[in-house]
């Protein structure tokens, strides 16, 4: 099935690629962080569609469920709840331009060297073979990950574990004004430690004991009378 000399799969790929590039540019060009997060969600959805075209169903579902359904929603709620002063964030933007331009240029050169015409192209990469109906993308991904790339996978796990421990250690502080409770001490608490019943005799006030204040008479009321 072809349209204008292109296969339907190619048309879908080009359409998703254009949407992905547009969403990626809007992430870094928009001034509102909420709009940037929403454009990033659109970019993730579009990337998941491209991965489906590459027959990477597991990666596409993980991208939608983990990044769009959890990470980006969390980022979006945090950005919406925080009172961010956008004018203050933009201060000093042009001062970082002399450092940002060389770093960005270096990253662009590295990407061109890696994802260049020499490494990618129709003549460099052959078409993937057709898979049978019982082919499992998840099983194949797990086999490659835990055999050929077992050491990098373990190193990445150690790096993430160290990052989590470091983040907890940096944010965990002993504050004097903290109202945290110790559950072990709460369990040992008895009723006598928290409440004390005191018996007191009832005191009844009579009308003689209560002094009724006298209100001054309004002069206008006297004249009227």
Domain span including residue 151: 129-167
Residue 55, domain member (yes or no): yes
Residue 73 is part of a domain; what is its CATH number? Answer: 1.20.120.1200
The residue among 33, 63, 91 that closes a domain is: 91
Tokens of 7: 């296969």
Are both 161 and 83 inside the same structural domain?
no
- Name the band, by pLDDT with cuts 50, 70 and 90, for residue 26: very high
Give the residue-averaged pLDDT of 93-103.
Answer: 84
In the predicted structure, residue 100 carries a pLDDT above the cut 70: yes
pLDDT band at 154 (very low <50, low <70, confident <90, very high): very high
61 pLDDT above the threshold of 70: yes
Average the pLDDT over 111-115 and give the result.
79
Asked if 19 and 81 sit in the same domain, the reply is yes
220 belongs to a structural domain:
no
Residue 43 lies in a domain: yes
Total H helices, total E strands in the chain: 11, 2
- Using the structure block, give the residue that is written with the tokens 């929403």: 38
Q: Is residue 192 part of a domain?
A: no
CA dihedral 108, 112, 15, 54 (to 10 degrees): -120
Q: What is the mean pLDDT of residues 24-34?
A: 86
Residues 6 and 75 in one domain: yes
On whether both 87 and 159 belong to a single domain, the answer is no
- Structural domain total, the chain: 2
Q: Is residue 173 part of a domain?
A: no
* More confident position, 174 or 109: 109
Please tell me whether residues 80 and 134 are part of one structural domain.
Answer: no
Q: Is 83 contained in some domain?
A: yes
Q: Which of 138, 167, 196 is the last residue of a domain?
A: 167
Are both 56 and 137 inside the same structural domain? no
**pLDDT score recorded for residue 219:** 59
Determine, yes or no, domain membership for 212. Answer: no
**pLDDT for position 17:** 92
Which three-class secondary structure state does DSSP give residue 37? helix
Tell whether the model's pLDDT for residue 214 goes beyond 70: no
Q: Does residue 216 sit within a domain?
A: no
Per-residue pLDDT reduced to its tens digit, 67-87:
888 888 887 787 777 766 666
- pLDDT confidence of residue 220: 57
Asked whether the predicted pLDDT for residue 159 surpasses 80, the reply is yes
């Amino acid at each position: 099935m072809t349209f204008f000399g292109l296969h339907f799969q190619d048309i879908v790929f080009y359409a998703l690629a254009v949407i992905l590039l547009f969403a990626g540019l809007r992430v870094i060009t928009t001034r509102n962080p909420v709009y940037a997060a929403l454009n990033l969600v659109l970019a993730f959805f579009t990337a998941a569609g491209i991965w489906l075209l590459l027959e990477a169903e597991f990666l596409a579902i993980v991208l939608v469920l983990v990044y769009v359904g959890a990470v980006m929603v969390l980022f979006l709620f945090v950005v919406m709840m925080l009172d961010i002063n956008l004018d203050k964030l933009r201060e000093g933007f042009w001062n970082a331009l002399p450092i940002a331009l060389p770093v960005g240029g270096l990253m662009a050169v590295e990407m061109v060297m890696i994802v260049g015409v020499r490494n990618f192209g129709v003549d460099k990469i052959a078409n993937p073979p057709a898979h049978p109906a019982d082919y499992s993308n998840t099983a194949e991904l797990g086999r490659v990950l835990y055999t050929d790339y077992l050491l990098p996978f373990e190193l990445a796990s150690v790096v993430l574990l160290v990052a989590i421990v470091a983040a907890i250690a940096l944010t965990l502080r002993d504050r004097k004004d903290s109202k945290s409770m110790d559950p072990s001490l709460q369990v040992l608490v008895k009723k006598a430690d928290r409440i004390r019943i005191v018996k007191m005799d009832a005191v009844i006030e009579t009308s003689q004991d209560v002094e009724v204040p006298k209100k001054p008479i309004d002069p206008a009321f006297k004249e009227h009378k």
